[in-house]
Amino acid sequence: MSELRTSELANAVGVHPNTVRRYVDRGYLPPVERSPSGYRRFTQRHLDCLRVAHQVYCNQYPSVPIRQLGLRITQATASGDLEGALELAHRYRAFVQSERIQANIAAGVLARWAFEEPADITIQPLPIGHVARLLDVTIDVLRNWDRNGLIAVPRDPSNGYRRYGLREIRRLRVIRLLSRAGYSLSAILRMLIQLDRDETTDPRRALDMPRPDEDVITARDRWLSTLTDQERRARTTIALLEEIIRRQTAGYR
């Protein structure tokens, strides 16, 4: 393969030339030699590394662990440790699959909670500190969920303190489960609003489908779709690395 300039390398993968320059600066691509006139000289190896990096980074920021695994894959590829990169890519896919399983389990619990009849049990309302210990969260987390509209907690008329009954505790358990499974507070709030208004019979879809007027700020705002896309990218990355390793036995051309 003949040498490529920055624009040619970018066009081959479908990215902006500035993306190529940024990836070089960040070490996602191997060091680049320059021609006597100052142009960067890219090779097949750079093209392969760019294809891998593009798979890892061409979407919304997923989560810190997923991002860190992706970074290690690109660094290993750029350094020439293709076998190590392939092993990391398999770990990447396994981790994403585990996250997706947890997210699906949480969504299943949500669906059961949304439509089951509440137990006819009366308990003495509990103060916020007691509920925080019961759910293994901080008091600040409970207050934050209240302030952000995920739950409306009755207050003691004599002193204004929050008092949590069985209904509130059950709702908090679901919120905690969804949050720990990776869903954003925006996604959880979107779903709860629709359920409270009887506007949906599919909580899982509400959890993953922003409204047309809703800003999607993070990947966790549509977490199930994000994880599905990440798993697809992981499979593609594994296939790319296997292709590069096969070709490397004959040398880059």
Residue 200 in this model has a pLDDT that exceeds 80:
no
Per-residue pLDDT at 117? 64
Residue 201 in this model has a pLDDT that exceeds 90:
no
Give the pLDDT band of residue 181 (cuts 50, 70, 90): very high
**Residues 253/44, Cβ–Cβ less than 8 Å:** yes
Indicate if 96 and 168 belong to the same structural domain: no
Q: What is the CATH number of the domain that holds 31?
A: 1.10.1660
Residue 173 lies in a domain: yes
Tokens of 103: 């997210």
Spatial distance between the Cα atoms of 218 and 9, rounded to a whole number of angstroms: 29
Residue 243: other Cβ atoms inside 10 A:
12
Q: What spatial distance separates the first Cα and last Cα of the chain, rounded to whole Å?
A: 5
Residue 249 in this model has a pLDDT that exceeds 90:
no
Indicate if 119 and 65 belong to the same structural domain: no
Q: Report the mean per-residue pLDDT for the chain.
A: 89
Nearest to 92 by CA among 69, 58, 65: 69
Residue 1 lies in a domain: no
Give the pLDDT band of residue 122 (cuts 50, 70, 90): low
Residue 75 in this model has a pLDDT that exceeds 90:
yes
Residue 27 in this model has a pLDDT that exceeds 80:
yes
- Find the DSSP H helices in 116-222: 128-135, 139-147, 166-180, 185-196, 203-208
Residue 119 in this model has a pLDDT that exceeds 90:
no
Residue 253 lies in a domain: no
Indicate if 192 and 119 belong to the same structural domain: yes
What is the domain range of residue 112? 102-224
Please report the DSSP string for 81-102 in residue order. -HHHHHHHHHHHHHHHHHHHHH
Least confident of 115-124, 135-144, 148-157, 208-217: 115-124
Spatial distance between the Cα atoms of 204 and 50, rounded to a whole number of angstroms: 36
Q: What is the CATH number of the domain that holds 184?
A: 1.10.1660.10
Spatial distance between the Cα atoms of 102 and 131, rounded to a whole number of angstroms: 24
Nearest to 43 by CA among 249, 244, 246: 244
Cβ neighbours for 65, distance < 8 A, ≥ 6 positions apart: 95
Indicate if 54 and 109 belong to the same structural domain: no
Mean pLDDT of 186-190: 93
Number of domains in the chain: 2
Indicate if 71 and 34 belong to the same structural domain: yes
Mean pLDDT of 104-125: 80
Residue 145 in this model has a pLDDT that exceeds 90:
yes
Residue 75 lies in a domain: yes
Local structure of 112: helix, strand or coil: helix
Indicate if 142 and 206 belong to the same structural domain: yes
Indicate if 217 and 236 belong to the same structural domain: no
Indicate if 161 and 237 belong to the same structural domain: no
